[in-house]
Chains A and B, each alone.
Chain A
Amino acid sequence: MSDNTNNVSYVRTEFLDPSDPPEAVGGPVKWIRDNLFSSWFNSIMTLLALYFIVRIAVGVYPWFANGVWGTSGLAECREILDGATGACFSILQERWPQMVFGFYPSEEYWRPIVGLLLLAIAAAPVLFWTLPRKMLIFTGIYPFLAYWLVYGGTIIVPIMALVGLVAGYIAFNRVERAYGFFLGLVGGVVAALVVWWIGGLLSAAMPGLIALPEVTTRDVGGFMLNMILGTVCVSLSIPLGIVLALGRQSNLPIIKGFCVIFIEFIRGVPLITLLFVANVMLAYFFPAESNPDLILRVIIMITMFSAAYIAEVIRGGLAALPTGQYEAADSLGLDYTQATRLIIMPQALKISIPGIVNVAVGLFKDTTLVSVISMFDLVGIIRGPILGSTQWTGIYWEVFGFAALLFFVVCYGISQYSQWLERQLQTDHR
């Protein structure tokens, strides 16, 4: 048979290339017809959308194209524009350091910039767990380093704070092995307090040791303040949120009741009222001589605020775990703390990561509310010193657009990361 086919000349030996599909069922024409003009209703929608886009483009384009750079005031911009529509981007040129750093002394700008770069390194191993785990050591050191960089002062304070934490952790580990979790906790707290007390004496004795010029907290402002409030409050509120979530799920009625009341109270009131508390009320509850800084009081209240929301997210994660996990941990003979630390929490946290990221984005946006209690964050700087200065009166779009852009870039980045993470976690489960 096979010999025969070779001899028969009227059978083609090679395949023909497939011919192109007709114009109407392939290529861009088909795509446009399917996606934009599939029915009369769809066509109307497409035309409406196109009209809308063109209207916006026509309105905005000259504003960008005629944008003026390099003048020293709005009046000069208007002169140059001579009645035409156009932006006065000079304000960004002149005031961007203020919008980003607040009243931070300009010769020290390198400090927050270094801090921001180091933040990227410190956050990387938390965000991407394929990176070497050793980098987490730097993540642990980072908060103290960043505090020293941004606020200045002697390096003894952050170092002793760190040493105190490490000492507390070591003491906790040692005591826990011998006497169990709760005595370990007590031992750790005592050890940390002792080291901090010594640190207080040391820094009082040598205030000039490797010291950066101190910057008062009032001068730390602009977008940097939003970043600081966002990162500090989110990182502090995650442990607090875990404790609250566990408390709400526990079967001890008093602890559960307290956690429920705390969470529901915080979630029921707007953040602004909590900031009012920080501004006018909270100082009364501190000892008379301590006089805590406004930013510290604000951090306390925002941390409580976001802890309540994170607690609800984690509670969702705990509820999503199958009961079998709890029972399996019990049947292995693990006690409550062991089961929670080794079995329950790792899984529950993994489920709730996307939710926590959402809360973090929301919280980061809400840090602009501190401008209402007259702190100079990005919005506060814009509404106060920038719009109030005589040469820039009447300028709005450029500065608010810039502020919106800054927030958009950061928040959109985080939400894209969150979606990427969700996809990663999904493949893990399937």
Chain B
Amino acid sequence: MTGYIIRRTLIAIVITIGIAAITFELLHLIAGSPVHEVLGRQARPAAIKAWNKSHGYDRPLVAQFATYLGHLVQLNFGYSYKQGQSVAALFKENAGRSIYLSGSALVLSLLIAMPLGIAQAVRRNSVGDYTVTALTFILYAMPPFFLGIILIDVFALRLHVFPPLVPSSITTTAQAVGHPRDFFLPIITLTAVNIASFSRYMRSSALDNLAQDYIRLARAKGLSQRAVLYRHLLRNACLPMITLVGLSIPDLLAGNVLVEVLFNIQGLGLLFFNALQNGDYPILLAYTVLGGILTVVGNLLADVAVTVADPRVKV
């Protein structure tokens, strides 16, 4: 087990370095040096050359990448000249709201999707099953921002139940948690999008497990339906969900960008979006690499969690 974790961690580190290398290279192609942000568009060639030399931007790409990697290990994500702050400080400032948003959406969608998938599997081919399947198919095909717009139209503009945007006065994570009404629509948007894929997997996993002998045995013992479902089926049917949650990190991050832009939430997604519009490449590089690291870590944790949770998985 320990050997397996060490081996997987080493592979994860190699993949992380690869992610950093490819992203660094691609961004270097479209934006080599931030010299124009510092000295302005009209800077003289000699001044540009001197600045690049003093900040190491004239060195070969490999040397620049080595420096970047060294900084990355020390959690130094670079410096945004446009914002005049280090990227790490900007991340720290904005991460709370994004974690709150995705975290609560993830937990909510698991809490809803797991019972929903089991209920669908138990009442397979019933009207209810078909209705939910159709709904999840529509949600699965729907861009998160479009779902958000529908929710804004219905619940904010027509029914006036929730505010259409998150007020920009909410700047700290504590405030965000303290105003659940303001965050209701964005969280529901992300949750609904997640449920669409989670419940489909949960349904098929539950269907597979319902056909197994251990369920028949549990029924033969005379256990109630409730005990069969919650004590025996749920735990086994949830195993694929561990992997799915690990794999859903890129989707969560993407959903975050769209939902934060739509609802005006001061989080990492909006920071990324503003950086895209300003051409603030250090932030773009850092957030893409961070997203890659989170993806790798998510996969690693999911793989380890599966081996812990499921004794049948041999490592």
User: Is chain B found bound to chain A in the same assembly?
Assistant: no
Binding site for B on A (CB under 8 A): none
